[in-house]
A and B are shown apart, each in its own frame.
Chain A
């Protein structure tokens, strides 16, 4: 998972995923520019009319295009995507910006001390580095509403835990390798837990259910126990609304 610009201008590869999906692959590494090429094709395809299209799933390095083979064919879908590739342009991807409050350390972030020890930093410095970076959502996956956010400062890079946890609480903010994420639901997990956000990233009773989508930007803001508890109580009372940070030009 290193930066690799060797694929910078190489044409993407069209790979087979059976007769219901195909993969447009722009690279094999976690790379910002590769990911932006994925995202640009995804946006162009979403805006276009493609008969039989079922879903578009951007990942770090490729776009998976799901389609209905009773309506269309591999040949037709690939042909349309090749047209869109020539039109996709090179505009930067500027997604919505989110700022999630995070209670770092203690039982909310049981791995903060260990991460500090293993990286040779103080816990305060780990928080400062983690919360001092703006991340991009490279892709969604693993569970509903979970975004893989990158890239974390090099000083914080660690392999996944040797012993994955059976239960990671929803809202846990975690790091592994060069990425960070927020567990959107309770699940097993092998990342290092630095803290927890009171915001529900996935809530079936809210519209939209999933806050994040690939291409969004995310910042973390350290908060104290009082702010965390207050927001948590608000969410528990059913007020689960949470909005992105307004951007210039927006009302």
Chain B
């Protein structure tokens, strides 16, 4: 079987696509990529449909060996390079497609600039979908490989065992990625459970992502909020991006693996154009919130869609090498990729 062998998994990488948001009515969380924008760009670089499942990396990437004739892959969402291991260790930049032949090992190291990044492969993975999705929800062991994160020794079967040679593509436009504007929030459904002072403090203050951050949600540190009508409600539905405030007054932004229903008041919801930005954040990152209307949120989402389409249209040619052998040669000649070794 052709595939990618997980030599060393790193920090619990999972397969993620656009999730399964249509089965929340039986209690199954939507799951899916924390940063669907990066996933789409990664898929576009390797010529996949946007919703193809890729490996979602957090904190520390894996070491993977090619057990197929050739694969094309792209790392998107981090400035960290793809390290290609061998006699000479070379680095291929992220945000471009690369083609690697059988036996090559690649490694993605620590992700110091993002909460999440994606490693997409041309053709995607040959894994059985659950409710139409390969997304992994580890708490209930749904999707991915046996419902769990990847671990050492796994073989991820490929749909396409031999990626043909072609010009590689590069995404030079990084404007979709770094963005310091306030995170936009639509109030509701339970904004009336909070005092006016608390709403003012929420939108006026600065918050930080705490270490309690995972695929289910991120707990924020910042102004503590007061409930005006108690902190228990009769459970209702939860949308991705909901800002839930339990009894301690510390808000939690709920992300892809959120439960489908909950019994804490929800002050507002991060708009869909900004949810991927929360997914990208790391513990310690600062953020502010701004209130917007639903009309504004819909306009912002259209603007994001346009921006993604433009970014993909503007892909340019990658540095002119055809495969990793050429990368090696090129590296020896010009040292155009950063190497830890001195160029002879």
Of the residues A20, A64, A210, contact of B27 by C-beta under 8 Å: A210
Contact A144 B186 (CB under 8 A): no
Bound: A107/B27 CA distance, A? 27
Give the size of the chain A interface in residues (CB under 8 angstroms). 48
Q: Which of A15, A19, A30 has the most CB of B within 10 A?
A: A19
- Is A21's CB within 8 Å of the partner chain B? yes
Residues in A with CB closer than 8 Å to B260 are 57, 140-141
Interface hits, A109-143 → B, CB 8 Å: 139-143
A69-77, A91-99, A219-227, A238-246: which lies at the interface? A69-77
Contact B237 A21 (CB under 8 A): yes
Residues in B with CB closer than 8 Å to A18 are 186, 239-242, 268-272, 297
- Is B28's CB within 8 Å of the partner chain A? yes
Q: Mark B15-34, 1 if CB is under 8 A from A, else 0.
A: 00000011111111000000
Interface hits, A135-164 → B, CB 8 Å: 139-146, 148
Contact B26 A59 (CB under 8 A): no
Residues in B with CB closer than 8 Å to A1 are 234
Contact A16 B26 (CB under 8 A): no
- Also in contact, A143 and B27, with CB within 8 A (given A17-B242, A69-B298): yes
A75 CB to closest chain B CB (Å) equals 8
Residues in B with CB closer than 8 Å to A87 are none
- Is B48's CB within 8 Å of the partner chain A? no
Contact B261 A213 (CB under 8 A): no
Bound: A222/B272 CA distance, A? 48
Contact B240 A57 (CB under 8 A): no
A12 CB to closest chain B CB (Å) equals 12
A52 CB to closest chain B CB (Å) equals 12
Q: Which residues of B contact A (CB under 8 A)?
A: 21-28, 130, 139-142, 147, 186-190, 233-242, 259-262, 266, 268-272, 294, 297-298, 301-302, 305
- Is A81's CB within 8 Å of the partner chain B? no
Bound: A74/B303 CA distance, A? 17
Residue of B nearest to A70 (CB): B305
- Is A51's CB within 8 Å of the partner chain B? no
Contact A28 B242 (CB under 8 A): no
Residue of A nearest to B273 (CB): A19
> Would you list the 9 A-B pairs with minimal beta carbon distance, nearest first?
A64-B237, A18-B269, A141-B261, A15-B189, A16-B188, A19-B297, A21-B239, A210-B26, A17-B239
Residue of A nearest to B292 (CB): A19
- Also in contact, A55 and B22, with CB within 8 A (given A15-B189, A18-B297): yes
Of the residues B25, B141, B269, B298, contact of A57 by C-beta under 8 Å: B25
Residues in A with CB closer than 8 Å to B130 are 204
Main secondary structure of the interface of B (DSSP, over half): mixed
Of the residues A148, A204, A214, contact of B142 by C-beta under 8 Å: A204
Contact B25 A142 (CB under 8 A): no
Residue of A nearest to B147 (CB): A204
- Is A232's CB within 8 Å of the partner chain B? no
Residues in A with CB closer than 8 Å to B294 are 16, 19, 74
Of the residues B23, B141, B186, contact of A16 by C-beta under 8 Å: B186
Interface hits, A50-108 → B, CB 8 Å: 54-64, 66, 69-70, 73-74
Residue of B nearest to A56 (CB): B25
Bound: A214/B301 CA distance, A? 32
- Also in contact, A57 and B271, with CB within 8 A (given A15-B189, A17-B189, A69-B301): no
Q: Mark A196-213, 1 if CB is under 8 A from B, else 0.
A: 000000101000011011
- Also in contact, A59 and B242, with CB within 8 A (given A16-B269, A69-B298, A213-B25): no
Contact A16 B189 (CB under 8 A): yes
Bound: A148/B261 CA distance, A? 11
Of the residues A19, A60, A66, contact of B21 by C-beta under 8 Å: A66
Contact B235 A60 (CB under 8 A): yes
Contact A140 B236 (CB under 8 A): no
Of the residues B27, B139, B305, contact of A140 by C-beta under 8 Å: B27
Bound: A56/B269 CA distance, A? 18
Residue of B nearest to A147 (CB): B27
Bound: A214/B304 CA distance, A? 36
B334 CB to closest chain A CB (Å) equals 44
- Also in contact, A144 and B28, with CB within 8 A (given A16-B189, A21-B237, A29-B234): yes
Residue of B nearest to A23 (CB): B189
Residues in B with CB closer than 8 Å to A213 are 25-26
Contact A19 B27 (CB under 8 A): no
Residues in A with CB closer than 8 Å to B237 are 17, 21, 23, 57, 59, 62-64
Bound: A214/B237 CA distance, A? 13
- Also in contact, A55 and B242, with CB within 8 A (given A16-B187, A21-B237, A64-B236): no
- Is A185's CB within 8 Å of the partner chain B? yes
- Is A33's CB within 8 Å of the partner chain B? no
